[in-house]
Structure 1
Amino acid sequence: MKKIILSSLLVLNMTSAFAQKFTWNQREFEAVNTKAEIVNMDGAQVLKVERDLIASPFDEKNIEASVDGPTYVKLTNVDMENGTIEVKMLSRIMENSPFPAARGFLGLAYRVDQENRNFEAIYLRPSNGRADDQLRRNHTVQYFSYPDYTFSRLRKEANGLYETYADIGLNEWIDVRIDFQDEKAVLYINNQKSPSFIVTKMLGTSKKGSIALWVEIGTIGYFKDLKVTKK
């Protein structure tokens, strides 16, 4: 009963402010345009994160301007230029999602500046991973750089260079590791020896900053076993 009460208090506190700080796994986080809750899943305490549609409204008629923004929980007191992020993540699509085409968007942001104005990110669309349509499969993994290089701009200008396929799905734990060094970022999924995705040249202007657990519209994201290594 005590764990349930603590989780409920956390939700109330975090929805009362634009960016509320909280502690999870002995680390301090800041919720930016999100709602978060510590929940019990299969005997483990995990972090549940959703986009806060009051702090960050969504306009289905203007999708490009409504997505790929600072919708995450961010580690405080972290300033990394290069390093490694490891985490397990699971996504579900909300019932009555405000965006019918939601794909279970969740991922990692890094080099996040203090004001949340610039960052790099790689995220997943798990429902695309096993779709019958090959084009959808090709859009399973996505890099973007906030604020200038959204998924839509990169898809138009870079001809698929910043997205790819991965064998993943909804409602399953996905092991994710991102190594980022100078201009390059490499993504490993489910402990594979070879990278699932390589970003040879990142496009952002932020050269160092914090890391964050990122979600997008229509998605309930769960995270556990976070490890951050600074190089």
Structure 2
Amino acid sequence: MKCFCNVFYFLIGLSSLTSWSQQSTTASKPSYIVYNRTVEQISENEKKIVRLSEGAGAGVAWIEGLEFSEGEIEFEAKGRDVLQKSFIGIAFHGVDNETYETVYFRPFNFQSTDSVRKIHAVQYVFEPKYGFQQLRNTRKDEFESAIKPSTIQATDWFRVKVVVRANKITVFVNNFNEPCLEIPSLNLSPIGKKIGFWVGNNSNGDFANLKIKRD
């Protein structure tokens, strides 16, 4: 599989910057190292978007030069309402293109009337040892959950905050006061510090407004 590299820009207003401590990172001209996807920059309704293409297998756009160990990750994401073709999220503690943790979403399950699918809306995995199927087989429903708030549609933009501290992962969506996922990290001694936008098998994805607060 080929790697593609492109440069994109985040436009973050002063009000966003002042809401973060001096430990915060906002990249004005980040460079992406992209694995198993292509990526483009587009603008829609004044939102600057990083768009990853659709493809077989997982793909990730690592942010070159940015490291993350503990703290908070915020970003916006938008998927699509296509069954098994919309897996979108953030990869972190990356060692390489195969070894990383990720929190990702299945937008096609957000409003599912199937009770089983509905609780498979947000997922944590630690690749490659603890993929979703391994966790589902051995620790059923512990590392995935329904979306909160429950009103988000499959094609909506939604804002995610992933808190990574003390071997614990907590995920909030759209500033909702209750987390939609709160689980122990399966990566107890992380050595990787790579972070990037992630999409799953047969998926594309749109991302915007990434902010990192490092402890």
Paired with 1:199 and 1:46, the residues of 2 have a C-alpha distance of 29
Q: Does structure 1 conserve the Cα–Cα contact (< 8 Å) formed by 2:3 and 2:33?
A: no
User: Aligned pair 1:18/2:18, yes or no?
Assistant: no
* Length-normalised TM-score, structure 2: 0.82
Which residue of structure 2 aligns with residue 141 of structure 1?
122
Which residue of structure 2 aligns with residue 8 of structure 1?
none
What's the secondary structure of 1:218's corresponding residue?
Answer: coil
User: Aligned pair 1:88/2:76, yes or no?
Assistant: yes
Q: Which runs of 5+ in 1 are unaligned?
A: 1-14, 59-66, 95-100
Paired with 2:199 and 2:166, the residues of 1 have a C-alpha distance of 25
Code of the aligned partner of 2:87:
F
Which 4+ runs in 1 deviate beyond 6 A? none
What's the secondary structure of 1:92's corresponding residue?
Answer: coil
Q: Does structure 2 conserve the Cα–Cα contact (< 8 Å) formed by 1:178 and 1:187?
A: yes
Q: What is the aligned length?
A: 194
Structure with greater proportional helix content:
1
1:193 positional shift: 1.6
Q: Deviation per CA, 1:28-81, whole angstroms, max 9, x where unpaired?
A: 211111111101212322111124x4xxxx4xxxxxxxx5x4x11111112222
User: Aligned pair 1:72/2:60, yes or no?
Assistant: yes
Aligned-residue CA RMSD (Å): 2.0
Counterparts of residues 57-206 of structure 1 (less than 5 Å): 58=56, 67=57, 69=58, 71-92=59-80, 101-113=83-95, 115-166=96-147, 167=150, 168-203=152-187, 206=190
What's the secondary structure of 2:204's corresponding residue?
Answer: strand
Identity %: 21
Paired with 1:28 and 1:127, the residues of 2 have a C-alpha distance of 30
What's the secondary structure of 2:209's corresponding residue?
Answer: strand
Paired with 1:201 and 1:219, the residues of 2 have a C-alpha distance of 25
What's the secondary structure of 1:78's corresponding residue?
Answer: coil
Q: Which runs of 5+ in 2 are unaligned?
A: 11-28
